[in-house]
Chain A
Amino acid sequence: KNEVEQSPQNLTAQEGEFITINCSYSVGISALHWLQQHPGGGIVSLFMLSSGKKKHGRLIATINIQEKHSSLHITASHPRDSAVYICAVSPSVVTQGGSEKLVFGKGTKLTVNP
């Protein structure tokens, strides 16, 4: 079983719809990250959160530490939101040299149709 599970794997929506992507994890963490990757593009960090909720424009990320669960919401979705959204966690354990290695989910591919 992967330490970070995302659902759904694929999501198709119509422009304007409210979208939710879920992430569950099984390890103790110091933080959770949401990343975005457009087709053929690089990977960009959207949020890092360790508690509560963060909002940036139409994107909202929430985390429940007790339930080991996070959600990424997109309000009023737009075709330019089409991308792969990746959940990653920073495990509480620090590895050799003090490096914190992220553990990644497999991503959720979002397609927003006009």
Chain B
Amino acid sequence: DAGITQSPRHKVTETGTPVTLRCHQTENHRYMYWYRQDPGHGLRLIHYSYGVKDTDKGEVSDGYSVSRSKTEDFLLTLESATSSQTSVYFCAISEGSPVTQYFGPGTRLLVL
């Protein structure tokens, strides 16, 4: 357990509404990641952060934005949710080299 929490854990929303998912860590890790997990695709990287206000895109970043104003919080925002963004979202931190990644408990998002 690397002290990672995600909120909310479950959310149902309607197409077109904005949604923000929060990842919170308590151990001052520099690197944080947002993934989505879908059947047949495995884990895919949405965005990652390598420090406060330092973020970069992953392989499936379209429709998502992130912010990191404090070391401990990494926010993922869906500006206008679509049904294709129905998924399970995992936050992760990494430490060491080579890295070991530790995952949060996940957020199940359903976009109707």
Q: What is the number of residues of chain B that contact chain A, defined by CB distance less than 8 Å?
A: 26
A100, CB-defined interface residue at 8 Å: yes
Nearest A residue (CB) for B55: A97
Given contacts A97-B56, A102-B101, 12 further A-B contacts (CB under 8 A): A33-B101, A42-B104, A43-B106, A44-B103, A45-B100, A48-B98, A48-B100, A95-B56, A99-B94, A100-B94, A100-B99, A105-B42
Task: Show the binding face of B for A, using Cβ within 8 Å.
Answer: 31, 33, 40-45, 48, 50-51, 54, 56, 58, 90, 94, 97-106
28 A-B pairs with C-beta separation under 8 A: A31-B98, A31-B99, A42-B105, A42-B106, A43-B43, A43-B90, A43-B103, A44-B103, A45-B102, A86-B42, A86-B43, A88-B43, A88-B101, A95-B56, A96-B56, A97-B50, A97-B56, A98-B50, A99-B50, A99-B56, A99-B94, A100-B94, A100-B99, A101-B45, A101-B48, A104-B42, A105-B42, A106-B41
